[in-house]
A = this chain, B = another copy of it.
Amino acid sequence: MSDNGKAREAILTCAGDIKDRIGKGKRPSLKFPRRSLSNVTYDTDDGYFKLKSGRITRTLTYNTVKTFAQALRMMALSKEAIDTEEEVTKREAYYVSKNWAEARFDEQSESDTVMEDIEALFAVNREQLGFIPEEKGGEVAGELVVIDRDRTTGKKIKIDCTRFGSGAYSVPISVEELQFETDAEFVLAIETAGMFQRLNNHAFWREANCILVSLGGVPTRACRRFVRRLSEQNGMPVYAFVDGDPYGYGNIYRTLKVGSGNAAHINEFFCVPDARFLGVTPKDIETYDLPTHPLSETDVKRARDLIRNDPFFQHHKPWQRAIKKMLKMGARVEQQAFAKHSLNFVIERYLPEKLADPDGFLP
């Protein structure tokens, strides 16, 4: 059964239970996982932040009737989306509710919360419920064929990511149905659009036999899910190439690899546990004589916070050493910094030297 099919079954079972209880004159209830950092653990075997067992029970009462009705309405919308193969953005779901009479939402933040509760309730992700985020995925170029279908004719479509010239394949918002054909050796996930463009213009993916993905800062859910499915289906490592600063380490890379704290119920689907950190590391600054910028107060605060409070960085000694080194140097470095030597130094020296020793990457 497809993932969407499982979500549909779960909705029908849940709705059936509620109907039964009401039929027997009993109060129906829903048990939602508690969604907060305190209900999260870093599972080092599976390699991502997981929900612990904390649950909140919501029973239908006079006071909860509106939110209870909203949750059921949202489930019904999900079932409708799955049945008609529609995708509903969070914003659209909010507007659809305008026709739900007393159950309508006044603010999108309310409908988003209900949507996230339902994700957590069924332990599925939003895309499997037929809901999609507003934001788009990343860009892709290189040794990959994406298999999609024309949604109106149903015909299979093969998209050859070596055939976009200076352009790229733009990842759709929902990637659940995509399949992949590739002989690439790894995925290179790149922070900035500028660096992605440089590597793509020089067809770096050809000589390195890899797939380039532009993250565009902290990767969106669609982008992370795309990289995850690609990595998983093809047993391919993912190497991250981002700025050498606390934001690059703690926000971009950490989110890509193990997920985030406040959305732990979906990390299972959106993390990329096989990701490893190619650079730019504090050590690279010395090895490659790179120009740096001084750490700002915010940088220092964030870096200290990573070592002290983030379960991921707490667990990995090499990361603690790297971040302490950065604090000691008082410097951050950007992935464009290699341009000081020459524009293509990054292609001709840095990446080939680093890629010769992936075991040396940070975890």
A residues lining the B interface (CB < 8 Å):
86-89, 91-96, 98-99, 132, 134-136, 139, 146, 148-152, 157, 159, 163-174, 177, 192-194, 197-198, 200-203, 206, 214, 216, 291, 334, 336-341, 343-344
B340 to A132, Cβ gap below 8 A?
no
A186 to chain B, nearest CB (A): 20
Residue of B nearest to A153 (CB): B203
Q: Which of B95, B152, B168 makes the CB contact (< 8 A) with A339?
A: B95
Report how many copies the assembly holds.
2
A298 to chain B, nearest CB (A): 18
B148 to A172, Cβ gap below 8 A?
no
A165 to B173, Cβ gap below 8 A?
no
B88 to A343, Cβ gap below 8 A?
yes
| Distance in angstroms between the alpha carbons of A343 and B86 in the assembled complex | 8
A157 to B164, Cβ gap below 8 A?
yes
Main secondary structure of the interface of A (DSSP, over half): mixed
Q: Which of B95, B135, B148, B165 makes the CB contact (< 8 A) with A165?
A: B148
Q: Could you give 13 example pairs across A and B, Cβ below 8 Å?
A: A86-B343, A89-B194, A89-B198, A91-B194, A92-B198, A132-B194, A139-B170, A151-B201, A166-B173, A167-B169, A169-B170, A172-B200, A174-B197
Contacts of A198 in B (CB 8 A): 87, 89, 92
A201 to B87, Cβ gap below 8 A?
yes
| Distance in angstroms between the alpha carbons of A200 and B172 in the assembled complex | 10
A333 to chain B, nearest CB (A): 10
Q: Which of B172, B203, B343 makes the CB contact (< 8 A) with A92?
A: B343
Q: Which of B95, B135, B170 makes the CB contact (< 8 A) with A170?
A: B170
Contacts of A99 in B (CB 8 A): 340-341
| Distance in angstroms between the alpha carbons of A203 and B29 in the assembled complex | 41
A164 to B193, Cβ gap below 8 A?
no
Interface centre among A86, A150, A343, A344 (most CB of B within 10 A): A343
Contacts of A214 in B (CB 8 A): 136
B136 to A136, Cβ gap below 8 A?
no
Q: Which of B93, B98, B193 makes the CB contact (< 8 A) with A173?
A: B193
| Distance in angstroms between the alpha carbons of A6 and B362 in the assembled complex | 47
Q: State whether A134 and B193 are in contact (beta carbons under 8 Å apart), knowing that A165-B150, A291-B98 are contacts in the complex.
A: yes
A152 to chain B, nearest CB (A): 4
Q: State whether A159 and B163 are in contact (beta carbons under 8 Å apart), knowing that A193-B135, A291-B98, A340-B96 are contacts in the complex.
A: yes
Interface centre among A91, A92, A151, A171 (most CB of B within 10 A): A92
Contacts of A96 in B (CB 8 A): 339-340, 343
